A and B are shown apart, each in its own frame.
Chain A
Amino acid sequence: GAVVSQHPSWVICKSGTSVKIECRSLDFQATTMFWYRQFPKQSLMLMATSNEGSKATYEQGVEKDKFLINHASLTLSTLTVTSAHPEDSSFYICSANYPARGRYEQYFGPGTRLTVT
């Protein structure tokens, strides 16, 4: 159990266009999902917390109008990078909260590599 998928696994887009990344919990429902970004040779940085049926909570310094998050169902959260630029090229990873052992544990998707040309 606790499988999280992402689609696409990689995407190349042109500067100025928008790209949508999907995060799905395949065998459980997740009221909360998280979006991270990871630049080469760096650690994961939390971008935002996605809550089903309500607005996402963004970390300091993350532009909410540029990184649109929609958590419309208990198994799907989407991250849309609007007007992408080369500096947005990164590895985007989502995680979903899974109830386990009386707590909520985060299980991660495989990541989406975005390249903006």
Chain B
Amino acid sequence: DAKTTQPTSMDCAEGRAANLPCNHSTISGNEYVYWYRQIHSQGPQYIIHGLKNNETNEMASLIITEDRKSSTLILPHATLRDTAVYYCIVRPSDTGTASKLTFGTGTRLQVTL
């Protein structure tokens, strides 16, 4: 699976957009970009995923560059409850039942007043 690189930490003011970058320069054509987050002492929570088109759901937007070597997760109006570690994961499209997720170190997002 392709490796991802994320900044260790970021700060964001409450109410502003949080833009979390992820580099996945070795991604292959059949690999999706997934984002999960983990609030302190809880299990990870699925946020969004995409292949090459930009995606949006009720939680966030995912912008993937045309060459697919990087992506940005956007939380449009961050709140204190969005403080968490955000993981960017590359995963093959052929997700059989045994498909694994490999977690990197993620980005620790701190939302402040």
Chain A residues close to B by CB (< 8 Å): 4, 6, 31-32, 34, 36, 43-46, 49, 51, 57, 91, 93, 95, 97, 103-111, 113
Contact = CB atoms under 8 A, between A and B. Distances in A.
Interface residues of B, number: 21
B100 A46 contact: yes
Given A103-B93, A113-B41, 5 more contacts: A51-B98, A91-B41, A105-B46, A111-B41, A111-B43
A20 to B, nearest CB: 18
Given A103-B95, A104-B95, A44 B44 contact: yes
B76 to A, nearest CB: 23
Interface of B: 38, 41-46, 87, 93, 95-106
B97 A32 contact: yes
A6 B101 CA distance: 19
Nearest to B49: A105
A110 B43 contact: yes
Contacts of A111: 41-43
B99 A43 contact: no
A32 B98 contact: yes
B106 A93 contact: no
Contacts of B46: 105-107
Nearest to B106: A43
A49 B98 contact: yes
Contact of B102 (A31, A46, A107, A109): A46
A108 B44 CA distance: 6
Contacts of B104: 43
Contacts of B98: 32, 49, 51, 57
A80 B43 CA distance: 19
B96 to A, nearest CB: 7
